[in-house]
Structure 1
Amino acid sequence: MAKKMKPKPDNLLAQNKKAYHDYNILETYEAGVALTGTEIKSVRAGKTTLRDGYARVRNGEAWLENVHITPYAEGNQFNVDPMRNRKLLLHKKEIRKLEVSLTEKGLTIVPLRMYLKHGYAKVLIGVAQGKKNYDKRESLKRKDQERDIQRAMKERY
């Protein structure tokens, strides 16, 4: 179940670029999100922020916390709290795996991407281990080197 999922760019609604900078992603899971009617309209409009979000397992259920979905402009009384906890829709086996991985020291679950798949909002969550500052500098240095190599190869051919 833990496989790399890359949604099509036109279906991508929100992306957490900071997660790749701050964490080493060990495993990824695709999860559905339980949203209300006005929330899904706001998500489809791209009004979602995943930056400070994380997932937690409580009572055998996975919950997405600290993810901001802006209230829908025409939603009036049907709008809900933009920072409310949202249930993640996963299989029991996947929830158990996440629960076991969370017991290890230094691991957390972060949302990486939110996208549409067959009309449903999906979240790509990753089991992540925090990076130290020197790890972040090393990955930035490696990224710059790869960019320079690509630039040199482009000029050469």
Structure 2
Amino acid sequence: MARETGTKLITSNRRARHDYEILDTYEAGIVLTGTEVKSLRTGRASLADAYADLHNGELRIHGVHIAEYSHGTWTNHAPRRIRKLLLHRGEIDKLTGKLTESGLTLVPLSMYFKNGWAKIELGLARGKRTYDKRQAIAKRDADREIERAVQRRAKGFTD
């Protein structure tokens, strides 16, 4: 059986980029059971309310919901169990130093299959305040309006 190549997105946490300022990103493997992998292949996962933390030198993720596999037997998995993440020791040590700073957290941004292996993209993030969110929305709207004006001008329309 040939191993699949490339990446296939399972789910993404679109809310994270709105609520947090992403400072750095990391790719980590996930320790999963068989029914969890089968459920992920059908795309039944949610990263809402999920976060990662360090515990005894290991990186763990909390709050990820992977639905029970519908064709599973009585040995199905718990949907919201704590799962271990796999990173190189040097990356974990670097994260340990950064997470001791106040206001920083690890937020899952997306979950995907890469060359057949389940991966999760983590973002080292700092929470945005309400006025930061409003500024980001205003900037995005202004950029859109500028782009529309440039396109109208390129097509020969004048105001």
Which TM-score applies when normalising by structure 2?
Answer: 0.90
* Bigger Cα Rg: 2
What is the 5 A alignment of 1:7-156? 11-156=8-153
Tell me the secondary structure at the aligned position of residue 74 of structure 2: helix
Gapped runs of 5+ residues in structure 2? 1-5, 155-159
> What amino acid maps onto 2:128 in structure 1?
K
What CA RMSD, in Å, does the superposition of the two structures yield over aligned residues? 1.2
Tell me by how many angstroms 1:107 deviates: 0.4
Gapped runs of 5+ residues in structure 1? 1-7
The residue aligned with 1:4 is none
CA distance in 2, matches of 1:95, 1:156: 51
Q: Which runs of 4+ in 1 moved over 3 A?
A: none
CA distance in 1, matches of 2:142, 2:22: 21
Tell me the secondary structure at the aligned position of residue 11 of structure 1: strand
**Percent of residue pairs identical:** 51
Aligned residues: 149
CA distance in 2, matches of 1:61, 1:11: 26
> What amino acid maps onto 1:30 in structure 2?
E
Tell me the secondary structure at the aligned position of residue 80 of structure 2: coil
* More helix as a share of residues: 1
Tell me by how many angstroms 1:26 deviates: 0.4
